[in-house]
Structure 1
Amino acid sequence: MTAPPAGPPVDLRSDTVTRPDARMRDAMARAEVGDDVLDGDPTMRALEAEVAGLLGTADALWVPTGSMGNLIALCVHLERGDRFLVPDRAHLLDLEVGTASWLAGGMPQALPWSAGPGTPSPADLERALIRGGPYFALRDRLLCLENTHNAAGGTVTTPVQHRSLVDAAHDAGLLVHLDGARLWNAAVALDVPPADLAEGADTIQVCLSKGLGAPVGSVLAGSTDFVREARRLRKMLGGGVRQGGVLAAAGLVALERVDRLAVDHHHARLLADALAERGWKVDPPQTNIVMVPADDPPGTVASLAERGVLAVPTGTGVRMVTHCDVSRLDIERAVASFPQPS
């Protein structure tokens, strides 16, 4: 690939940097609204019903952020001191400022990835369970899953893997929460309905501002009773909204664009393949996250920034995320801007 002329920075830090386009802004401006705290917002309700239908749940609730959605689910499912099991390096563990313990009162137990990057196996779960301990032992209450797994590089859990974990958890008497912030990416990558990847989970959180272009918002789905309690907790956490339809309208437009995530996945593969041709050891991405091992991640990121390409360092390398505001020419520019591997 050859570098196109220099232009605005190519922002590959995250798929959360997208900006709503003219059509989405128009939908937001025209949205029918009401006071969602008092008597409901019609556009908000339409979005919640749409997501519930896509995930196969009875009801759903809009929340400002995915982190709040995960926290609300844990607050409902856990009592103070309960243990929850979760794949190692999950977003819930590393990137939500400890609210799972601080506010939900849960004790986390990380599970290894025996079934593939980001995915534990039922045997991993079985080995980690505490059974028949004394009253002062930890009490296992919840299994949390993440699909796609961010820190593993946007890796997917298949419907068969998901169902085996859900069944093992339920057989052990655990509830299951799915952090599906990028569940849409997993569904597109596997060419299956989102509901197939959420089947059996007691609660699911999905994000609208990662890759789909909405400026803000996630949706938390589950049973009617769960959503009733979740709405109360959302208010306790300061997440009550008034004329929320302005934001929900963006979410409805975003849901129309799930299929175009395949373009982001294609661009991620182009980026990874081109870097591999230049000598970088890059694992083929499953979705829209490219992880590039590097000896000096901060130095590599700084070098890219000088050339107009924005990325983020990880513990062992550089992470780049493709999204709807990144073009094929942007990918070419990013490749041309990479320094030679050391």
Structure 2
Amino acid sequence: MTANEIVVPAVDLYSDTVSRPTDGMRRAMAEAEVGNEQAMEDPTVNRLCDRVAELLGKEAAVFLPSGTMCNEIAYRVWVDRGEEIILEETAHALHFEAGGPAALAGAMCRTLKGERGIFSAADLETVIRTRGGKHGQRQALVNLENTANLGGGAVWPLAAVAEVAECARSHNLKVHMDGARLLNAVVASGTLASAYGQLCDSVWIDLSKGLGCPVGGVLAGSAEFIDRAWLFKHQFGGAMRQAGILAAAGLYALDHHVQRLSEDHANARYLAEGIAAIGGLSVAVDEIETNMVYFDVETGRLDAAGLSARLMQDHKVRIGAMGPRRMRAVTHIDIDRSGIEAALGALKSAMETA
């Protein structure tokens, strides 16, 4: 095997970002009507933006290359340099966006501790700065992540969002929702996406995770917000030209791949129940709400990195290490029940020989 040769897992639970376009999605992409997206002349991109704006209860939306860009553009719109974004201490933007809030928006981050990535208005009040005057640190934005990744895919209850949003606005703060897996939350809770969206000043959905698209996210807000977002989209290098080929995948996914997210959730629960029966591993089965399964390697000679390597080497099963003993498996459109069974068999075998 050469240094550049790729080893393809037989069962890939590393992330839902590894999901691939279905045959139907590929056909939709091939047949897409296209134009100059940057000039607002791509009809397929325009349809996707209109569709997502309506889905999220917003006036307008913009199609972007990634969810990270959705977050970073929203921060750039809402936050002046030196102002603070308030985030839960496990937030994706804090840990996995390469310092983007500071590098691109000049923002400072103030953290608070929630429960599995979710916090209350009372928690928010503990980090609100009350000192004013010329020396006081200014705060601009409260960031919510739904579902909460490092919280194990936890779903924000709508009432909790409403409570936090009311508190934020009482302090003249905007509310932004990182909706990377918002549609997982929608399907799991039965809450309308627009119900979440109407409580937030900006919100986005990712297309390239559970929905199975090859690329992209869609950021939504007021018409004024999106007009400003276009400026930073261009400034960040986000012109995509004939992007209808990509937007068509998003439209197809919204038609065909949303309700099936419940299958991923069921597979995640089944996986967690199986892991709980394997000696040396522990998992909080009752905390599985969506498509993420965090579990711990408690005994044996292998730590999380060692178990991850053993699974891939011996069984072509990929599960990521998230810490010395912490692992994460993420179900998605490419993983059926037989894949879950194969992963459980690999875990059992690896732990028995560890």
- The letter of the residue matching 1:105 is G
Quote the offset at 1:133 in angstroms: 3.1
Following the alignment from structure 2 to structure 1, what is the Cα–Cα distance between the partners of residues 132 and 222? 31
Q: Which residue does 1:30 correspond to in 2?
A: 31
RMSD of aligned residue pairs (Cα, Å)? 1.4
Q: Which residue does 2:116 correspond to in 1?
A: 117
Structure 1 spans left out of the alignment, 5+ residues: 1-6
Q: Secondary structure at the match of 1:92?
A: helix
Quote the offset at 1:205 in angstroms: 1.7
Following the alignment from structure 1 to structure 2, what is the Cα–Cα distance between the partners of residues 216 and 255? 14
Following the alignment from structure 1 to structure 2, what is the Cα–Cα distance between the partners of residues 152 and 294? 18
Following the alignment from structure 1 to structure 2, what is the Cα–Cα distance between the partners of residues 253 and 151? 29
Q: Select the residue among 294, 304, 328 that pairs with 2:311.
A: 304
Following the alignment from structure 1 to structure 2, what is the Cα–Cα distance between the partners of residues 305 and 317? 17
- What is the number of equivalent residue pairs in this alignment? 334
Over residues 309-342 of structure 1, what are the superposed CA-to-partner deviations in whole Å (9 max), with x where a residue is unaligned? 1011112411000000001111001001113388
Matched, 1:95 2:102: no
Following the alignment from structure 2 to structure 1, what is the Cα–Cα distance between the partners of residues 11 and 321? 16
Q: Which residue does 1:290 correspond to in 2?
A: 293
Matched, 1:133 2:132: yes
Q: Which residue does 2:147 correspond to in 1?
A: 148
Is the CA contact 1:163–1:199 (under 8 Å) kept in the aligned structure 2?
Answer: no
Following the alignment from structure 1 to structure 2, what is the Cα–Cα distance between the partners of residues 130 and 76? 21
1:177-192 residue pairs with structure 2 within 5 A?
Answer: 177-192=176-191
Is the CA contact 2:116–2:150 (under 8 Å) kept in the aligned structure 1?
Answer: no
Quote the offset at 1:40 in angstroms: 2.1
Q: Which residue does 1:277 correspond to in 2?
A: 277
Quote the offset at 1:8 in angstroms: 5.5
Is the CA contact 2:40–2:46 (under 8 Å) kept in the aligned structure 1?
Answer: no
Q: Which runs of 4+ in 1 moved over 4 A?
A: none
Following the alignment from structure 2 to structure 1, what is the Cα–Cα distance between the partners of residues 140 and 228? 18
Quote the offset at 1:303 in angstroms: 1.5
Q: Which residue does 1:261 correspond to in 2?
A: 261
Is the CA contact 1:300–1:318 (under 8 Å) kept in the aligned structure 2?
Answer: no
Is the CA contact 1:63–1:217 (under 8 Å) kept in the aligned structure 2?
Answer: yes
Q: Which residue does 2:236 correspond to in 1?
A: 237
Q: Which residue does 1:340 correspond to in 2?
A: 351
Matched, 1:70 2:89: no
1:196-215 residue pairs with structure 2 within 5 A?
Answer: 196-215=195-214
Following the alignment from structure 1 to structure 2, what is the Cα–Cα distance between the partners of residues 8 and 328? 16
Quote the offset at 1:137 in angstroms: 2.4
Over residues 265-295 of structure 1, what are the superposed CA-to-partner deviations in whole Å (9 max), with x where a residue is unaligned? 0000000001112243211211000001125
TM normalised by structure 2 equals 0.92
More off after superposition, 244-253 vs 37-46: 37-46
Q: Which residue does 1:86 correspond to in 2?
A: 87
Q: In the superposition, relative to structure 1, how do residues 198 and 275 fare at CA in structure 2: closer, same or farther (>3 Å)?
A: same
Structure 2 spans left out of the alignment, 5+ residues: 1-7
Q: Which residue does 2:11 correspond to in 1?
A: 10
Is the CA contact 1:64–1:216 (under 8 Å) kept in the aligned structure 2?
Answer: yes
Following the alignment from structure 2 to structure 1, what is the Cα–Cα distance between the partners of residues 200 and 25? 31
